[in-house]
Each structure stands twice: as structure tokens, then as C-alpha cells.
Amino acid sequence: MYKYTIKRIFLMIPTLIGAAILVFGLLRLIPGDVCALRMAGEGSFVDETAIEQCRINLGITRPIWEQFLSFVWGFATFDLGDSMWTSRAITEEIGLRFELSLQIAVMATLVSIIISIPMGTISAIKQNTWIDYIVRTFSIAGIALPSFWLGILIILGLLISTQAWLGEAWMPPIEYVDPWKDPLGNLSQLIWPALATGYRYSAVATRMTRSALLEVLREDYVRTARAKGLLEKVIINRHALKNAMLPVVTVIGIEFAFLMGGLVVTEQVFNLNGLGKLFVESVTNHDYSLTQALVMLVAFIFVVTNFVVDIFYAWLDPRIRYS
């Protein structure tokens, strides 16, 4: 297990280097520059020398190789630099949003686990019955509905229904409510995006749980367990479900990593100041330094999540750790 862990850690390094080269190169291929956009973007008069000065101050007039070297050096020394748009430290920009994104990711994952594992299990046990059909319809609908669209529907539904029932339209807060200061306010804000994303996320996990469990339930050792006269509950919980969890854990891990930086549209729909929204802003603003840092952060989260999943795999399946 120790050797296995070390090997996985070393495999993370080339992945991150590859991501760094790719993001730096791709960003420079997109036409446009942050200064023209920032100073002339609204069509009002701007002195051209001011735009040029902005470029010089940000260092985007330097040769590409020089910019690349300073990016790599900064990354290696954990100095991510300043945002080209706001001049604030990137660590500060990310730090401000990390808590919110993490909270939504955790809440959506919980929603997903709470829905998907029992439903997937029931669906597999009651295969081809009306319960199975309902669960499958529910999960297919979850995959088909984009979470941001569901989010819009949720907000509109809240506005219309509260106006009809209470006389005044209500919608979730549009600025972040600190969970330590106002837990109820925080819940009233974040439960909706967590439900919107958690539902889609659970749909994938439900289908995965169902198919994995169906496969396991046909295995010889399950038949043996039944022949031994074990209770069905014990067979499912102790023998089948644990083994069926391998692909489900993978899906949950990947989705969790995705939620940390990928809630691009959902965060905008609910006006959440998270990493996804920051990502969109940095790309549309041509804020190279911030985009590079965010891509590297997401790549890091994916790599670490994959690492954790691999370790979890090894824990679940002794064959992996012994091989």
C-alpha cells in the first residue's frame, strides 16, 4: 500500500506540468488583450497611451518565453502573482471564493449520495418493476436537464409561488451568507444550487449504482451467500453493495472535482461568488494570470481527487493493493 501511494504521488507531477504548458499556450491563442478590454470595453473615450501603459505595467508586452518562465517559476515557488484585472493577489481572489465553492460541492455531493445510493440499490433489487421504471425515469430526467436550467426554474418557481402565497416575491440571497454567522440564511441561499446540481449528479450516480449492483448480484459469491442462507439484507449491504461501490466512488470523485471549478453557469444563475464564476470572468476578461492559476488549481483538485479515489479503490479491493 505504501509503494502504491508513493507511485501515485509521483504520477501527479507530469500531469500538472502538462496542464501548465497547455493552459499557457492555449490562452495566448485567443485573440484580444486585457488592457483594451478593460479600458476601451465600454466604448467611451480612452487615451491610447493609457492602454499601452497598462500593457507595459502588466508585462504582456514582454516576450512569450519570458512570460512562460515567470509563470512556471511563480507556480513552482507558490507565488501565483496578481490578477491582471483587479491587481489583487490571486491567492486572495481564490481564497475568497474557495469556501463557497467547497461548501456547494460538499452539499451537492451529499444530496447526490443521499439520493443515488438508496435509489440505485432499490432500482437494482426491484429490477423491471414499476419502482425501477420510476427511478430510471427520474435519473434520466436528471441527466437530461442541465443544472443551470433547473436553477433558473427553481428561482422562477420561488419568485412566482411566494408572490402568489405571501404577496411578496422571495428569492434566495444574492450575496454570500456566512454559515458561521447565519446558518439558516446560508442554508436558504445554498440549498437551491446544491439541489439543482446534486440532482444531475445523483442521476449519474444512481444509474451507475444500479448497473454495478446488478452485475455484482449475478456473481457466484452472491449466489453462494444466498445458498448459505444469509439474509437478503446482509447479502446486499455487506457483500454486494460494497463491491458495487467501486465505479460509483469513481463517479462521485470526478463529479466532486468538477463541482469545485465547473459550476460555471449555475454559480452565475444563483449569483454565487464562487470559483466557477471567477473562472468565467477571468477568461472573458483575458486575465491570463488568474485563468492560469485557476486551471492549475482545478487540475490539482482533479489530480488529488483521482489520487484519493485510487487509494479508496485499493482499500475497497485488496486485489489492487496487492498487485
Partner 1 sequence: MMKFRALLVAIAGLGAALATSATITASAQETPARGGVLSFVVGSKIPSYDGHRETTFGMIHPIRPFYSTLLRVNPNNPQSPTDIICDLCEGKPVTTNGGKTITFKIKSNVLFHDGTPLTSADVKATLDKIMFPPEGIPSSRKAWYTQVASVDAPNATTLHVQLKRPLSAMIPALASPFNFTYSKKDLDEHGYNWHKKNINGTGAFKFVQHQPGAFVEGARFDKFHVKGLPYLDGYKAISAPKMSVRLQAIRGNRAAIEFRGFPPKARDDLVKALGKKIKVQESNWNCLMGATPNQKLKRFQDKRVRQALTLAFDRWGGSRYLSKIALVKTVGGVTFPGHPLEGSKRWLQSLNGYAKDVRASRARAKKLLQDAGHPNLKVTLWNRAVDQPYKVVGTWYIDQWRKIGAKADQKVLPSGPWYAGLRKTRDFDVAVDFNCQTVINPTIDVSKWIKGAGNNYSNHTDQKVTDLYLDMLNEADSKKQYQKLRAYEKYILSDQVHYMTSFWWYKINPHRSYVKGWKIAPSHYLNQSLDQVWLDPKLQ
Q: Summarize as ranges the residues that interact with partner 1 (CB under 8 A).
A: 30-33, 36-51, 53-54, 56-57, 85-88, 92-93, 96-97, 152, 155-156, 158-159, 163, 168-171, 173-176, 268-271, 273, 277-278, 281, 284-286
Distance CA 74, CA 70 (A): 6
Write down the least CB distance from residue 279 to partner 1, Å: 11
Residue 67 or 273: the one with the smaller Cβ distance to partner 1 is: 273
23 HSE (CA, 13 A, CB side): 24
Residue 255 or 287: the one with the smaller Cβ distance to partner 1 is: 287
Q: For residue 220, how far is the Cα from the chain centroid? A: 37
Write down the least CB distance from residue 241 to partner 1, Å: 41
Classify residue 156 by its DSSP letter: H
Angle (CA) 138-173-148 rounded to 5° is 35
Write down the least CB distance from residue 189 to partner 1, Å: 11
Residue type, 221: Y
Residue 120 or 151: the one with the smaller Cβ distance to partner 1 is: 151
Residue 39 or 131: the one with the smaller Cβ distance to partner 1 is: 39
Yes or no: say if 57 and 305 are a contact pair by the CB < 8 Å rule.
no
Write down the least CB distance from residue 198 to partner 1, Å: 21
Residue 57 or 129: the one with the smaller Cβ distance to partner 1 is: 57
Write down the least CB distance from residue 263 to partner 1, Å: 14
Residue 85 or 313: the one with the smaller Cβ distance to partner 1 is: 85
50 HSE (CA, 13 A, CB side): 8
Write down the least CB distance from residue 82 to partner 1, Å: 11
5 HSE (CA, 13 A, CB side): 6
**DSSP H or E run through 281:** helix 275-284
SS3 for 159?
helix
SS3 sequence of 201-228: HHHHHHHHHHHHHHHHHCCHHHHHHHHC
Q: What is the dihedral sign for C-alpha 41, 89, 264, 258?
A: positive
38 HSE (CA, 13 A, CB side): 21
Write down the least CB distance from residue 67 to partner 1, Å: 18
Distances in Å between the Cα of 153 and the Cα atoms of 57, 95, 159, 228, 308 are 44, 30, 10, 51, 35
Residue 56 or 69: the one with the smaller Cβ distance to partner 1 is: 56
Closest CA to 160 of 152, 196, 148, 271: 152
Residue 250 or 268: the one with the smaller Cβ distance to partner 1 is: 268
Write down the least CB distance from residue 282 to partner 1, Å: 11
CB within 8 A of 245, min separation 6: which ones? Answer: 212, 316
